[in-house]
Chain A
Amino acid sequence: MSLELLLIIAFGGAVLIYFSGKISPKLRNCLAVVVSLLLVAITALLYGKSPNVTFYPGFFGIPIILRLNVLSWFFAITIVGIGLLSIVYSLQYIKDEKRLDYYYFTMLFINASMLGTVLSGDLISFFIFWEMMSWSTYLLISYKGGRAIGAGLKYIIMSIIGSLTMLVAIISLYNRFGTLEITALSSQMQTAPIDYTLFILILFSIAFVIINAFWPFHTWLPDAHAEAVSPFSSVLSAVLVRKGMYGLYLFMYVILGLNTLNKLSAGIISFNNVFCWIGAITIVFAALTALLKDDSKRILAWSTVGQGGYMILGVAFATTLGMAGGTFHILNHCIYIALLFFVAGAIEHQTGGVRDLNSLGGLIKKMPVTFVGGLVGISGLIGVPLTNGFVSKWLIYKTLILQGHPFLAFAAFLGTWGTILYGYKFIHNIFLGQLPEKYKDVKEVPFTMQLPIILLTILVLLFGILPGIPLKVVNAIGTSFGFESLNVTIWGIASETGTLNTINIFSALLVAAVFVWFLFRLGAKSVPVAQQDTYAAGTHIPKDKYHYTAEFYGPLYRMIKPFLRDVIDEFYYWIASSMQRLSDGVRRVYAGDVGYYVMYIILFIALLIFVQLKWKPW
């Protein structure tokens, strides 16, 4: 199984599906699933192998290289996995929309180009795939039209800025070293002067920080995630955004390496430190902003911003534990955020497009599978023990505390408590409370939409109870960067500074729960009652007006809202509007009327004559 075959299937499949859609929609849907399944199978088979293919003369004489190592395999499997699930989910979700050939084509094309970025072994093919990814993402964000077009524009403008800085850095590297091969660069960069290294690193970091949506470049993400169609929101949030993390890994650890990275510091300010604080600000700001939102997908979008902060906290810390925590968190986030977007999409699909958390309620009885998915997903997001999010967060916290950075740890903890608040609001406002009359005929989603939800729910719990399975790969990534190996067992982490044993927690909780359940059954029987039959101090209960949702955390909103103006976003909008004013001014000069131009020419000649008469320069 070679790498070019993987890419040919990925890109060829996308094109094939577009044309098969012209023949029959059924054929197209089947093909889409088959192609995605094939990609998952091939990628899974490639585990542990490290093929390397070089194409001469490649692009303008620069050889193009495809290669696979444990880092790119880790990202590749998340891409194809989430890609498959989102295609399966799309089958029913999207079936009533228009331009479906276009939708499936773009969806698979994005997956293929993301796969390309992680498989490329030189910077030129990396850049080409990266650009393909940016543009096709723009097309799919704007798929629904209306507000989505604005969101797409916002994304593409920020993305282009990132691509341009990256291009400058790539050209500069080529000029200096005459090669763009990653392995060659990584040995050459060791001898480069420190200021040049910093220059390159900052240019690349801008590109990756933008796509990762860290503060202060977070502004594109909430709009884009909320306005895209839900299956694609999953892809966006779970894997596409994290291509930025892949880029950071590539530059910080593969090309520069640990030794060079440690040299980039002046006094207490080091490159890693700056990243850590960016991460901390991102976490707190995003968590508190998410609290104020009333749109189910917008909440999840802001949580995506915040969770990125945890990853960079772990990764930028550059210790064995931190690295493992950050990398593991990428995988965990990928799983539960995809799950949550599927859940939000299911709600949207079954209620006729409602995303407003203030007008839902009581859906637990109508959509139990979706509810369990949502609950487990939110638990993962919070990091409740026995979900996968807990293990990675535990690793990150432990790193921060033992390395003596309690304030960073505090920011991370505070973000988690913010997550609890908005996570519960998400669950409560959608699933709990009273069911409004208009939703009494809502049904559970069809099976092809349930399947991704069920699979991801199982994964969240599995990786939470037996974290050793994914940690093996995560550990291999760490050791490939030159970190020490972590002592991983199937149910946790053993180390001299404290162990984590999830199986103990799991069995304790299980035994305790069974015991309490028996105690519960032992008591006198309880009678099921209807939802209207609640305590209201003897007064009449009006239907549909009895669910406490609007301003769920009212007193807190009033306290924190003044501090949470998104100044950065306003600043970007100010730049945009000043540019618009400037262009408008220029437009007035070029009015398009010949008379004006004649006047300009005459004025210009008059000026020249005046200059000549006065100073005689010519």
Chain B
Amino acid sequence: MVTKVMQIILSPLLALIVGVFFLGLARKIMARIHWRYGPPLIQPVIDMIRLFCQKSVSHGRMFDLGIVLSLAGSIVVVLFLPFGKICPLSSSGGLLVILYIMLLAPLGMALSGGEGANPNISIGISRKLILSLGYEVPLLLVLLAVMTRYKTISIMEVVNAQQSTGWSIISFPLFLSGLSYFLILPAILGIRPFDVSSAPQEISSGPMAEYGGKYLALATIEHAFVLFISIALFVNLFLGGAANPVIFFVKMLVVFVLGLCINAVFPRFRIEQAIKYLWKWPTLLAFVGLIITMAIRS
């Protein structure tokens, strides 16, 4: 019981630290690729503290509640994701529940932004939702391939199965799915070349346009969680999870830095181009992966 409570408190905290560290690291690595020096690693923490102390504007009840719901949703997702062996709510519904609770974060953000009554926000949200429909198509095929392969909907069992049979990403049909997941990872994270929804130069950061002060701070925390969740899901499903948090963290770091390199050198897609890309190669790979998985199973 005590360990359970400890885990429940610990896992979101770890996720937050890792996520915020990634945010800092991202700026540093991006700067080095651009031949700049870059801000210190703890810059996001400094920014967040400053933002919490600044005054901000509110557009109404939903504007406040939306962002709270969004962040709370992300925290709950973390409780369902194994981090090393830490997974407090592993037996409450599995991957299907994760997939659905991951909805709460963008939904809350969209509701909050919607009440901001700024067309930049609306355009940003509309793009975000279109993009998510774009990457959900390959992502769902990927997740279904994994669930069909291991005949389970529990993410813990997927991790355990990989401990005995080896990582999914190097096992025969699933490497296609793994590759597909990696190809859509930037879209899930919303980083370049898929940063259509926030696009600072076009639509004033989209959903963030009306945020200031603590709203922006919470949105940054939320972004840190999203980073953590999408990468942790990849590590759990394809890189075999890990026996302890340190190895898990190293695996996440590798994936993140690889993703960052793509982010640093590519320009932004237009939304149509993004959808066309997402529904072409990643979907094809995931589709073939799923068909082979099905054939092997039966």
Contacts and interface: CB of A to CB of B under 8 A. Distances in A.
Contacts of A417: 132-133, 136, 140
Nearest to A513: B72
A558 to B, nearest CB: 8
B204 to A, nearest CB: 6
A432 B117 contact: yes
Interface stretch (A2-10, A17-25, A182-190, A403-411): A403-411
Contact of A432 (B62, B100, B107, B141): B62
Interface residues of B, number: 82
A401 B110 CA distance: 30
A516 B213 CA distance: 15
A362 B153 contact: no
B254 interface: no
Interface residues of A, number: 75
Given A401-B153, A524-B52, A555-B130, A394 B75 contact: no
A427 B62 CA distance: 12
A519 interface: yes
A509 B100 CA distance: 13
B214 interface: yes
A384 B76 CA distance: 13
Interface stretch (A169-177, A527-535, A589-597): A527-535
Contacts of A556: 130, 133, 275
B114 A526 contact: no
Contacts of A555: 127, 130, 270-272, 275
Contacts of B210: 534-535
Interface stretch (B24-32, B37-45, B118-126, B231-239): B118-126
Contacts of A554: 126
Nearest to A508: B76
Interface in B284-298: 290, 293-294, 297-298
A504 interface: yes
- Interface of A (DSSP majority class): helix
B218 A528 contact: no
A424 B204 contact: no
A432 B119 contact: no
B79 A516 contact: no
Given A398-B153, A417-B140, 20 more contacts: A365-B60, A394-B100, A398-B96, A401-B147, A409-B144, A414-B136, A420-B129, A428-B122, A431-B114, A497-B152, A499-B91, A505-B92, A508-B79, A520-B68, A520-B218, A523-B51, A527-B58, A531-B117, A547-B119, A556-B133
Interface of B: 8, 12, 51-60, 62, 64, 67-69, 71-73, 75-76, 79, 89, 91-94, 96-97, 100-101, 103-104, 107, 110-111, 114-120, 122-123, 125-127, 129-130, 132-133, 136-137, 140-141, 144-145, 147-148, 151-154, 204, 209-210, 213-215, 217-218, 270-272, 275, 290, 293-294, 297-298
Interface of A: 362, 364-365, 375, 379, 382-385, 390, 394, 397-398, 401-402, 404, 406-407, 409-410, 413-414, 417-418, 420-421, 424, 427-428, 431-434, 492, 497-501, 504-505, 508-509, 512-513, 515-517, 519-520, 522-529, 531, 533-537, 546-549, 552-556, 558-559
